[in-house]
Amino acid sequence: MRRWLRRLSVLALALGFAKGVHCGVTAAAPDEAERLAYLARRLDRGELPGVAPGPPFDGEWLLVEHSFTIAAATNLAFRDPSQAQVRRAQVKRWVDAMFADEVRAFDTAKWGEDALRTLEGSNGHVGFLGHLAWALGASCLIGNGAHQRAGELAASLARRFDASPSALLETYPGETYVPDNLVAVAGLALDQRCHGDTRHEPTIHRFVEALRRERLDADTGVLVFAPGQPGRGSGAAWMAYFFTFIDEAFARAQFEALFRAFGVDVPLGAFAVREWPRGVDRPGDVDSGPLVLGLSPSGTGFALAGPAFTGDPARLRAMLRTAEAVGTSGGGAERRYLLAPLVGDAIVLATRTATAWPAPLPRAVDADRR
């Protein structure tokens, strides 16, 4: 997957996997609500980004902390609609915060221009704009309605994708990463779901078909994370997760290909994901982080979302055994991963609670309006 996304997730996932995952539309477990409470306090008090590398990665972590916390809150609202009012208000605050200058400062520095002041442009900024579009879609689906800037942002992204010969946009000048593009197209999918129409369907269809035709690794069947590069466990798991918002059938196929080519059974009935396919031994790098016997902490962590969509509870239990073996949780009423940065808590809570967002939650389901 995209370099900075792996950098921000590797430490968190290596040191703080989830202690439990609950799939399907069910009430949120207390543990999950406690973990969200910790994230909410940090975001609301501006205690961000916490432990982080230097520029531009600190800015990237700040962005992803917001977007993945929004995803986690939206997941929990769909699982327990009686809490939708509280989650809706939280998501609205965090979406508004994503428009602050400091959240996009890393992207502005790399491009020499402000993404939100150049929406008429023809390329670029897909990392920042993608996460913002995805967050706006989540806010709409949780019941906040369409944000006042959602239309122009979605229209800008759709126009840029339509104009791109490769169907891909740049994250930074001269740097194109498939995972960042997946986030942006997921944002378009959520935008049209918010409106109950198919306004972006031609753009989404062209993008998906281009990936099927040009970006599948011939040996493993998973998506590559950059043009001309092979498939990897971390990138494939990330992209399969985001495809759940675009095309659940394709997402399931990607998770299955990931488990088939990169999955391994480990002692005591556990299961994990390798960074490289079985039979391929390569060292870890700045993207994958440190590997233990070839196993990918980030790939395994993102793949926690897979069983929710492949319907494989046995695999989920096996992956959770791996999670239990390396997880370090604590914090009392605000449960968190004691050895992980804040961004890791946000990412893992979003993936461990992964669920479908089929249509906007009606405001009438709020407990105080029954």
Enumerate helices (H) and strands (E) in the chain, giving the number of each.
15, 4
Position 10 scores a pLDDT of 39
Does 361 map to a domain?
A: no
Q: Across residues 154-165, what is the average pLDDT?
A: 97
Identify the pLDDT of residue 316: 81
Report the 3 state secondary structure along 264-313: EEECCCEEEEECCCCCCCCCCCCCCCCCECCECHHHHHHHHHHHHHHCCH
Four-residue CA torsion sign, 172, 175, 179, 183: positive
Of the listed ranges 94-98, 134-138, 181-185, 279-283, the one predicted with least confidence? 279-283
Mean pLDDT, rounded, for 101-122: 95
> What pLDDT was estimated at residue 18?
33
Question: Which domain covers residue 51, as residue numbers?
Answer: 3-352
**Would 367 be classed as within a structural domain?**
no
Q: What does the pLDDT read at residue 133? A: 98
Kindly report whether the global pTM for this prediction surpasses the value 0.75: yes
Task: Report the pLDDT averaged over residues 222-248.
Answer: 95
The count of domains in the chain is 1
pLDDT at 15: 33
Whether 193 has a pLDDT exceeding 60, the answer reads: yes
Tell me whether residue 362 is in a domain: no
Residue 369 lies in a domain: no
Report d(CA 108, CA 125) in Å as an integer.
9
By 3-state DSSP, what share of the chain in percent is helix, strand and coil, each rounded to 5?
60, 5, 35
Q: Is residue 360 part of a domain?
A: no
The rounded distance, in Å, linking the Cα atoms of 3 and 160 is 22
pLDDT at 27 > cutoff 80: no
Within-domain flag for 173: yes
As a whole number of angstroms, the distance between CA 244 and CA 186 comes to: 8
> CA 349, CA 32: separation in Å to the nearest integer?
7
**Least confident piece of the model among 240-249, 282-291, 353-362:** 282-291
Q: What is the CATH number of the domain that holds 253?
A: 1.50.10.20
Report how far residue 20's alpha carbon sits from residue 33's, in angstroms, rounded to the nearest whole number.
12
Q: How confident is the model at residue 26 (pLDDT cuts 50, 70, 90)?
A: very low
Which range has the worst mean pLDDT, 114-118, 121-125, 329-333? 329-333
Read off the pLDDT of each residue in 18-35 and give the average, rounded to a whole number.
54
Q: Would 35 be classed as within a structural domain?
A: yes
Nearest residue to 186 via CA among 270, 268, 247: 247
182 in any annotated domain? yes
Non-local CB neighbours of 284 within 8 Å, separated by 6+ positions = 275, 290, 291
One-letter amino acid identity for 268? L
Q: How confident is the model at residue 160 (pLDDT cuts 50, 70, 90)?
A: very high
Does 189 or 16 have the greater pLDDT score? 189
Q: What's 368's DSSP letter?
A: G
User: What is the rounded CA–CA span in Å between residue 142 and residue 147?
Assistant: 12
Query: What is the enclosing helix (H) or strand (E) of 180?
Result: helix 178-195
Higher pLDDT, 341 or 90: 90
